[in-house]
């Protein structure tokens, strides 16, 4: 196996890998494959853990893609998810419900320049950490590292979320 280039999203360097990626998420094929491995573990072995919401949001925020309208909305929505869980201390289902309200309210998401580094931990670290700690603890550590990396944008994200929730109808 030869060394590969850093993943455009998280910066992890993995061996070269031929395979698919996601059209809006800026991840290398090797990193995308690791994410698939993590999701397989969550669905097949854990059933659908409480922390699954953080898994999806952390990966998407760490791999924001490019300044395209769909990627901007994806990034804003997943930043809102991290905000709702990590700052407002909501559980997965409650955060998902509010995140959906935020996205439906169209709070005017705009491109936010991703930090470098984009979190101290990556999906590769999570796969290693799960041997040392419980799965959801590893996921939360990853999500917190990603959220902390975006600290310069916390006020913007909070404004999007709180403004949208103030105007979005309750469902």
What pLDDT sits at residue 160?
Answer: 96
Summarize the confidence of residues 97-101 as an average pLDDT.
93
Terminal Cα distance for the chain, rounded:
51
Confidence of residue 15 (pLDDT cuts 50, 70, 90): confident
Does the pTM surpass 0.85? The reply is yes
What pLDDT sits at residue 170?
Answer: 63
Confidence of residue 5 (pLDDT cuts 50, 70, 90): confident
Is the pLDDT assigned to residue 146 strictly greater than 80?
Answer: yes
What pLDDT sits at residue 168?
Answer: 56
Per-residue pLDDT tens over the stretch 42-96: 998 888 788 999 999 999 999 999 999 999 999 999 999 999 999 999 998 899 9
Query: If DSSP codes are grouped into helix, strand and coil, which group holds residue 23?
Result: coil
Sign of CA dihedral 151, 152, 158, 164: negative
């Amino acid at each position: 196996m030869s060394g590969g280039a850093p993943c455009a999203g998280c910066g992890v360097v993995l061996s070269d890998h031929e395979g698919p990626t996601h059209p809006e998420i800026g991840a290398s094929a090797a990193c995308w494959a690791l994410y698939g491995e993590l999701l397989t573990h969550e669905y097949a072995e854990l059933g659908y853990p409480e922390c699954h919401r953080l898994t999806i949001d952390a990966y998407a925020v760490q791999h924001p893609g490019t300044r395209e309208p769909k990627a901007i909305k994806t990034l804003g929505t997943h930043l809102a998810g991290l905000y709702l869980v990590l700052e407002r201390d909501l559980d997965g289902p409650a955060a998902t419900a509010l995140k959906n309200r935020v996205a439906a309210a169209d709070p005017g998401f705009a491109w936010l320049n991703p930090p470098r580094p984009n979190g101290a931990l990556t999906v590769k670290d999570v796969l290693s950490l799960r041997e040392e700690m419980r799965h959801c603890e590893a996921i939360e550590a990853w999500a917190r590292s990603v959220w902390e990396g975006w600290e310069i944008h916390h006020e913007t994200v909070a404004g999007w979320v709180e403004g949208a929730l103030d105007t979005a109808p309750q469902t």
